[in-house]
Amino acid sequence: MTYQVMLVEDDANVAQINSGLIAELPGYEVVAIHERYARALDLIRIVKPDLLLLDVYLMDGDGLQLLHDLRAEQLPVEVIMITAANDTRTVQQALHAGALDFLIKPFSPQRLRAALNRFSERMTTRGQEHNFSQRKLDALLGFAPGEHLPKGIDQETLGEVLASLRLATHPMSAEDLSQQLGMSRVTAWRYLEFLITRNQVSPHSVYGAVGRPTKKYQLK
């Protein structure tokens, strides 16, 4: 599945950077970029994106009002706020109106990937019947209780690895993962083996014509 993403951002440089970051990730496609409030809602109705990255300060209006418009029309689009606005009122209004996440400029590429990971987690539950465990519900809501991870395993990187496995169309090797996330093969292997210990990943041996078999990993 490919998720369609639209950006509403009045800074062309920021829009270009964020669009490039999203384009690097498997399973996401930027389908529209717009900088003005007046036209954005009409464009959302036409394009019908799965996800909207929305700024607060637009050339001709307020991104918060656009978010309220989306909710009033019950348009089925998830929204991640990406803005320099960091005051309490703005943050509270965005979250109360149903924003999935709120990123304050400037933010790291890793933080954007974490937000997209939350989005993909939520999309997997849409239209399905579920009986949640508390752990699964906490993950869906973005609540991350303190978890003791072994040395060499970082929570944020672990989320990126899980997102890559979730979006993969076939089992991945440590080499595949290292190239996709820009990490060393040894680091990718360490995270994949850790996920086996948590019973989240199944390993498979793939035999070629010659040489040792390649170990590949698939999310359960």
pLDDT at 157 over 70: yes
Backbone torsions φ then ψ of 42, nearest 5 degrees: -60, -40
pLDDT band with cut points at 50, 70 and 90 for residue 146 = low
For the chain, where do the domains classified as CATH 3.40.50.2300 start and end?
3-123
What is the per-residue pLDDT for 198?
83
- Cα radius of gyration rounded to whole Å, the chain: 19
Tell me how far apart the alpha carbons of residues 120 and 130 are, in angstroms, rounded to a whole number: 16
pLDDT band with cut points at 50, 70 and 90 for residue 63 = very high
| CATH class entry, domain 3-123 | alpha beta
pTM > 0.85: yes or no: no
More confident residue, 92 or 7: 7
3-class DSSP assignment, residue 1:
coil
> What is the rounded average pLDDT of the residues 150-161?
83
For the chain, where do the domains classified as CATH 1.10.10.10 start and end?
146-219
**Percentage of residues in the chain having pLDDT higher than 90:** 45
Write down the mean pLDDT value for the chain. 86
**Range 146-219 classified under CATH 3.10.580.10:** no
What is the per-residue pLDDT for 214?
86
What is the per-residue pLDDT for 134?
66
